Amino acid sequence: MFLDSIIRRNKKLVNFTKEAFKKSLILPNSYVLDLDSIKKNAKLMKNEANKYNMDIFQMTKQFGRNPLVAKAIESVGIKKAACVDFQEALMLSKAGIKIGNIGHLVQIPNNFVEKILKLKPEVITVFSIKKIQKISKEAKKLNINQDIILRVIGQKDTFYKGQYGGFKIGELDLTIKKIKNIPNINIVGFTSFPNLLFNGKKTLPTNNLKTINKAIEIAKKNNIKIKHINSPSANSTSTTKLLKDFNTTHIEPGHALIGTIPSNSILDEPEIPSILYVSEISHKLNDKAFFFGGGYYPRGHFDKAIIYSKNNKKFIVNINKFDSNYIDYYLNFDIKNKEIDVGDILISSFRTQVFVTRSLVVVVEGLSKNKPKILGTYSSQGEKIKWI
């Protein structure tokens, strides 16, 4: 999906990865991150958000909840993180990253509510009255008041399977009245997902943003002071103004930080592609070459790769579609008379969610100064690997 773009816009990352792989410094099924470019991307987004008086949380799941990268992003002014689940919150808090939003997309399990409250998140996204009551109970024990934002749902809104939940907009007035009677809780805003989608030509708002703005009006009628309108999905430098027009106060870029929002596959967005995938040919059979997998993500559009052979030739190959009913021990492509052999290097770049893979994550610093250095190899959950 992003192979052409990364070859053209970040050749240093491609070349470094190839040479480091030859020296066994990087293993198959690894994502390699260009820390210099990620920091530049983060700074671009921070500056753009400042123009519109918007706050910005970093989303780290796309690049494996990596604490080293998260700290680098923090260093350019993005001080808090949006945590997709409680595991991410615990991992990032160990690295000293403050929590901006948690509970969206995954609610906090009851047994972890107290632990998460002690991390002092700016807001918690909630889907139900029951969860609010649990947060209230634990907040009262800690003698604190917790700000929450409600995920709202309209009939024409867009949601992905496996991510559904929230408060129906038609019932929101009554819902707010109930929540106002729950102690140690403050409703401060609303959210939904996805709020922007790329249609192949441009990134456009979904109906979800209209639902959020309906929720704002309902809240005002109930004398609720709104200060947090959170509009994730395709948050980037180029979409910030559009979201501001829909009263957004907070954005949560993830893919933009590594330059992999969908539009960057066909347009040159301000953010530089800063992540690639590397593996190795394991074996050949029936005119197909099989390479080590483990990094496959069904919505990633892993469509092609560049192969570096032992005889210094290189080939662009089309990756065969993989059935997500199976585990990606290997993925493959058709050889088509190409001089490809076991041990050849495969490099690609596509849309990923590293935290749902079993890949390794390699962080590289200094490419922009022609002094590249591997800072560490990590698991897909952000843990430092010590056995390499």
pLDDT tens digits for range 81-99: 999 999 999 999 999 999 9
Closest by Cα among 42, 33, 100, 41 to 63? 33
Point out the domain boundary residue: 241, 261, 281. 261
Which amino acid belongs to residue 355?
F
Looking at the structure, tell me whether residues 129 and 166 fall in a common domain: yes
pLDDT band at 373 (very low <50, low <70, confident <90, very high): very high
Residues contacting 154, CB < 8 A, separation 6+: 169, 207, 208, 210, 211, 214
Same domain? 53 vs 114: yes
| pLDDT at 386 (0 to 100) | 87
Q: List, for residues 127-148, the tens digit of each pLDDT value.
A: 999 999 999 999 999 999 999 9
Of 235, 261, 287, the one marking the end of a domain is 261
pLDDT at 229 over 80: yes
Same domain, 186 and 242: yes
Neighbours of 13 (CB within 10 A): 26
Instruction: Write down the pLDDT at residue 264.
Output: 87
Q: Classify residue 387: in a domain, yes or no.
A: no
Domain with 336 in it: what CATH number? Answer: 2.40.37.30
Distance CA 67, CA 141 (A): 31
For residue 265, name the pLDDT band (cuts at 50, 70, 90): confident
pLDDT at residue 70 tops 80: yes
Return the structure tokens found at 234. Answer: 């395709």
Asked if pLDDT for residue 295 goes beyond 80, the answer is: yes
Residues 29, 171 within the same domain: no
> If pLDDT is split at 50, 70 and 90, which confidence band does 323 have?
confident
Mean pLDDT of the chain: 96
Q: What is the mean pLDDT of residues 260-285?
A: 94
* Predicted confidence (pLDDT) at residue 63 exceeds the cutoff of 90: yes
- What is the arithmetic mean of pLDDT over 226-236? 96
The answer to whether residue 1 scores a pLDDT higher than 80 is no
Within a domain: 53: yes
Tens of pLDDT, residue by residue over 149-197, are: 999 999 999 999 999 999 999 999 999 999 999 999 999 999 999 999 9
DSSP summary character for residue 258: G
| Structural domain contains residue 388 | no
Q: Judge if 122 and 98 occupy the same domain.
A: yes
372 within a domain of the structure (yes/no): yes
Closest by CA position to 272, among listed 304, 236, 242: 236
Decide if 207 is inside a domain: yes
Question: What CATH code is carried by the domain that includes residue 93?
Answer: 3.20.20.10
Same domain assignment for residues 346 and 220 = no
Pair (130, 223) in one structural domain:
yes
Residue 44 shares a structural domain with residue 17: no
Same domain for 154 and 230?
A: yes
The pLDDT-based confidence of 219 (bands split at 50, 70, 90) is very high
Structurally, how many domains does the chain consist of? 2
Whether 221 has a pLDDT exceeding 90, the answer reads yes
Are residues 353 and 318 part of one domain? yes
11 and 84 housed in the same domain? no
How far apart CA 342 and CA 302 sit, in angstroms, is 21
* Same-domain status, 221 and 160: yes
For residue 383, tell me if it sits in a domain.
Answer: no
Among 236, 261, 286, where does a domain finish? Answer: 261
Give a yes or no: residue 386 inside a domain.
Answer: no
| Domain range for 306 | 3-34+270-378
The pLDDT value given to residue 262: 85
